[in-house]
Amino acid sequence: MIRTRLRDFVRTDEDCLFSVVDYFHPDGIRGILRYAPDEEGNRFANGKKYRKYDFTDSFDYMRKHHPDWIADVHIIPQERVSEILSPVDRLPELVDSDERIKTIVKVLSDSGIPMSKQGVTGSILPGLQNDMSDIDFVVYGPAWFKARDTINRAKVSGCRIEAIDENMWQRIYRKRSPEISYDEFLLHELRKGNRGMVDGTYFDLLFTRDWSQIHHPLERGTDTEHIQIKATVTDATFAFDNPALYKIDHEEIDHILSYTHTYSGQALAGERIDARGVVEELGHKKRLVVGTSREPRGEWIRSLTLLEEEGLL
């Protein structure tokens, strides 16, 4: 049995690279195709050209080459996996070769976060980044929250880690294209504190569970209808996970899952929220799913508590 988790990559025997998108893999590795060998591709590693695939194009590729691997995501047979690329294992090499990553690692390590809880994913993990690539920096388990606070202190201490400027926030907002206003988006994002700049490069601090936090696979239910609810968040421990998880106090809905990065970390425990998504029936309970498409329309999570405190309601 292959042991892998969210934000790892796997390489297949055809040299295709998939990002791992789940913690449990009952029928094969649950992933999404990100790179495939292509003589006309514009990414290059290990003497070979690759093409990068976005979410929609990856399914087009898989329908042509591996239709039997398609489910809600791509299911890679374990016997077709030739290599697991771990964000943690790659980090020492990246620290020696990339001054930006070395800066982030030093700041976090100096605050007591071991390198065994740090990693880099995204295009940098398989060595397929280009000059425009961001840094997808991973921190595992509870250390993530300490890392986020450390990065925020570093932004005001005069080191090479800087806050995001207005132009970058506008770019991020356009890319995310959320169903909330720019002012609401920015207010939530500034509080999250998990984005920054290093030597002119944008980076995210991404959360992945420690192995000790991985217990039960996500139940699958039946989608029913779109609804909008107001509720109180009772537990936001995994609000920065993917999917983000919010346990709530609501007469009908047990919890909320968000599959869109925009609404991860969107609310704190104890806050009132306004959310709209699709009800998923699990038999014994119901949940609300936000992010049922790549750019979900008519779906959102807003912290009413935060908006009221800042005078936006």
Domain boundaries, the chain: 8-85, 87-208, 222-310
User: What residue type is 6 in one-letter code?
Assistant: L
pLDDT at position 35 is 98
Structure tokens at 216: 């039960």
Q: Output the pTM of the full model.
A: 0.95
pLDDT at position 295 is 67
Q: At CA 108, angle to CA 132 and CA 267, rounded to 5?
A: 80
Structure tokens at 133: 């690539």
Closest Cα to residue 5, out of 23, 18, 17, 19? 23
Contact status, residue 162 vs residue 196, Cβ threshold 8 Å:
yes
Structure tokens at 160: 């090479």
Closest Cα to residue 57, out of 72, 35, 40? 35
Contact status, residue 75 vs residue 27, Cβ threshold 8 Å:
yes
CA dihedral 289, 294, 299, 302 (to 10 degrees): 90
pLDDT at position 158 is 77
Give the integer Cα–Cα distance in Å for 160 and 154.
8
Give the integer Cα–Cα distance in Å for 154 and 148.
10
Give the integer Cα–Cα distance in Å for 176 and 94.
28
pLDDT at position 283 is 87
Q: Which helix (H) or strand (E) holds 273?
A: strand 272-281
Q: What is the CATH number of domain 87-208?
A: 3.30.460
Contact status, residue 73 vs residue 80, Cβ threshold 8 Å:
no
Calculate helix-pair angle for 99-110, 87-97, nearest 10 degrees. 110
Give the integer Cα–Cα distance in Å for 259 and 255.
13
Cis peptide before 243 (omega within 30 of 0): yes
Give the integer Cα–Cα distance in Å for 207 and 299.
23
Length of the chain as a residue count: 313
Would 87-208 and 222-310 be classified into the same CATH topology? Answer: no
pLDDT at position 235 is 98
Instruction: Give the 3-state secondary structure of residue 292.
Output: coil
Give the integer Cα–Cα distance in Å for 169 and 85.
31
Q: What share of the chain is helix, strand, coil (3-state, %, to 5)?
A: 30, 30, 40
Which CATH fold topology does 222-310 show?
A: OB fold (Dihydrolipoamide Acetyltransferase, E2P) (2.40.50)
pLDDT at position 157 is 87
Q: Tens place of pLDDT for every residue, the chain, 313 residues? A: 789 999 999 999 999 999 999 999 999 999 999 999 999 999 999 899 999 999 999 999 999 999 999 999 999 999 999 999 999 999 999 999 999 999 999 999 999 999 999 999 999 999 999 999 999 999 999 999 999 999 999 999 878 999 999 999 999 999 888 999 999 999 999 999 999 999 999 999 999 999 999 999 998 899 999 999 999 999 999 999 999 999 999 999 999 999 999 999 999 999 999 999 999 999 889 999 998 766 678 999 999 999 999 998 8
Contacts of 251 (CB under 8 A, 6+ apart): none
Q: Which helix (H) or strand (E) holds 45?
A: strand 43-45
Cβ atoms within 10 A of the Cβ of 224, count?
A: 11
